[in-house]
Amino acid sequence: MKLLHRPFSAVGTTPLAAVELGLGLAAVPLFDQVAGWIIPLFFAAGVARLLMNRPGARLPSLPVKALLFGLGVGAIFLTYHSFVGVAPGLSALVLLVSLKLLETNTVRDFQVLALLGYFLALCDLFFTQTLGLWLYVAAVFTLLTAALVHFHRGTGTAGLLRSARLGGLLLAQALPVIALLFVFFPRSRVPFLQFSQPPISATGMSDRLEPGGVGSLALGDEVIFRAEFPDGNAPSMSAMYWRGSVLWRGDGLKWWRGPELPAERRQGQLGGAAIRQRIVLEPHGAHWLFALDRPATEIRGAFLDAGGFLQTQRPVLRQLQYEVFSRPDNRESTLPGIQRQATQRLPTRVSPQVQTLVSGWRTAHRDDRAVVDAALHHFRAEHFTYSLSPGTYGPDALHEFLFERRVGFCEHYAAAFASLMRLAGISSRVVIGYHGGEYNARGHYVTVRQSDAHAWCEVWLKGEGWLRVDPTEVIAPERISAGFAGFLENREAANPTGRVPSSARTGWREVRRELRLAWDNLSYQWDLRVLGFDDDSQRSVLANLGLGNFRWAEITFTLLVGSSLLLSALGLWQTRVRQPRRDPVELGYTRFCRVLAAAGVAREPWEGPLGFSERAAARFTSRAAAIREIAALYTRLRYAPTPPSASAFLQAVRAFADHPADLK
């Protein structure tokens, strides 16, 4: 029966293996988005299809494929209890690709399989669009195109590299059309497709600050944002405090946002030279924006929340570019009553030793600034230690930190200092964000990473307003002056084992750092120039091209006409009549016959090379040996199972033709 027919494989093993490799590479980035059992099924289908190319092996029948399809669809429903959604849809797509692999046996099947590979590779870009992933997808496209070329050429394994070069050339010819569409295709402020889910705590930011909350992020290397200073007035690394959020409620070493307070209006409250920043923020799923302390202007789609930090109206679910101005000098003169009430709420659990310590400062100093200096002196004099792993603290964490352990990370010192100030009657709050960053000299920007997460304190001083106080600067000044990465490098350079790092190891570290910075700059420029090419950028480019007054309908029409003309030109170039390349052996034999014809012995159309050579040798007995040698070489080149090199034949023809006078 036709339904039970199991055909033999008609697809070559080499192109089949190439397209399977391309499919596998296209599917790998999607594996964390599909059902776990789909992955082994996908690879098993690929291996099974290759095994079906063995002599005598047959492809599965239609009932077997239908059964596999039914089982796969049922398993997807049992896994997700629905067919609607990104994960079920991608799982179904990978399942269908696996089944298509098993039945591929015709030209049409192979082409459909390659097209599915293209689609899978494009699906990779639905979730992230980093430069590395784009290059990866381009490599997958090249491999799939090479498999198509190799399949249609029908050559052996030796021609695979040539097929890859031709596939790359075909894709390169599409670049002008891609560039044309990139510049002129109408853009919208709303993303066309957004499949990625907001990551949880991707920036290390949270509405709560607890011991270990920031320290656990210190070794993370994820990029949070990159910032340029277009006016060239970037502050020093030690002064780069990137404001993220303000915590108003605290209890010892634990702090949180607290009640909602009215948003601020900063006009006239900040002074100093304006510092303009152009920031590219990675998606984090929350509402925070970052700017140098302190942001003085609002941006589109965001507002200044209580405490002077920027908040977006919608979660940041994709890469966001914005420009903001900050001013370093605070000119606030009045603390709103609702903020004063929120910043003087005392901790609920205060030990007698803590109360005695604060009372001593207040008794000795009537001025609030003097109390602040006394608290900082206490941290310095009592030999507190800055540590990435201070351990956990008990219920009375403030007392334990101040009098027993004396070890902590930035959040311990900021939270403890803010609590001590409130006990001393000074309004205080905790600010969380980032400090410093890594300067990239190639791109002239600063990269802020997860490891730069930081917390500091602000106190309200009469006549001065909110004053930033960073106890970490007292405990570990190199953390502030050199940044977190510099702090770790300096501590490693101290080398408590006493061994001196080798110059080779130090040099290799510098080489790796330079390579990393170069790649980071390429990624940043990609994000800024390509992924950041929005509707505003497009309008600016069109205005520079003199198309600023054109309507979108006219531009779309021009785009369609231009694309059609470009594709037509490429098609004509591909189908142009090419002069066939002449075979050098054939050219040599033609020259040999022409010399003999000029001497009076012309080759008849029906005459073979050996018969013709015998007739010519009988006529020119002095050159008979040379004539027979040339005919024998030509015959072996044309008919021998393993033809010899053509150089001997061409040399013999050249020597024969150079002495036509001997043919007498």
Give catalytic residues, as residue numbers. Answer: 410, 454, 470
Is 430 within 8 Å of 250 (Cβ atoms)? yes
Among 42-46, 119-123, 565-569, the least confident range: 565-569
Torsion of the alpha carbons at 453, 459, 465 and 466, rounded to the nearest 10:
10
pLDDT confidence band for 328 (50 / 70 / 90): confident
pLDDT tens sequence across 623-642: 888 889 999 999 998 888 87
pLDDT tens sequence across 382-399: 989 998 778 788 888 999
pLDDT confidence band for 198 (50 / 70 / 90): very low
Is the per-residue pLDDT at 417 higher than 90? yes
pLDDT confidence band for 487 (50 / 70 / 90): low
H/E stretch holding 201: none
**What's the confidence (pLDDT) of residue 317?**
86
pLDDT confidence band for 355 (50 / 70 / 90): very high
| CA max distance for the chain | 132
| CB-based contacts of 323, cutoff 8 Å, min separation 6 | 276, 277, 278, 279, 299
Is the per-residue pLDDT at 125 higher than 50? yes
294 upstream amide cis, omega within 30 of 0: yes
pLDDT confidence band for 196 (50 / 70 / 90): very low
Average pLDDT over residues 247-257: 92
**What's the confidence (pLDDT) of residue 497?**
52
Is the per-residue pLDDT at 293 higher than 80? yes
Among 297-301, 472-476, 503-507, the least confident range: 503-507
pLDDT confidence band for 231 (50 / 70 / 90): very high
- Mean pLDDT of all residues in the chain? 85
**What's the confidence (pLDDT) of residue 390?**
82
Would you state the structure tokens that stand for residue 589, as one six-digit string? 């034999």
pLDDT tens sequence across 605-627: 888 899 999 998 888 888 888 88
What's the CA gap between 419 and 417, in Å, rounded? Answer: 5
**What's the confidence (pLDDT) of residue 580?**
67
Q: Is the pTM of this model over 0.85?
A: no
pLDDT tens sequence across 53-112: 877 778 888 888 888 889 999 999 999 988 888 899 999 999 999 999 888 888 899 999
pLDDT confidence band for 199 (50 / 70 / 90): very low
Average pLDDT over residues 10-36: 90
What's the CA gap between 155 and 151, in Å, rounded? Answer: 8
**What's the confidence (pLDDT) of residue 509?**
77
What's the CA gap between 320 and 192, in Å, rounded? Answer: 15
Q: How far are the Cα atoms of 330, 590, 641 from residue 464, in angstroms, in the given order?
A: 7, 100, 97
What's the CA gap between 356 and 363, in Å, rounded? Answer: 10
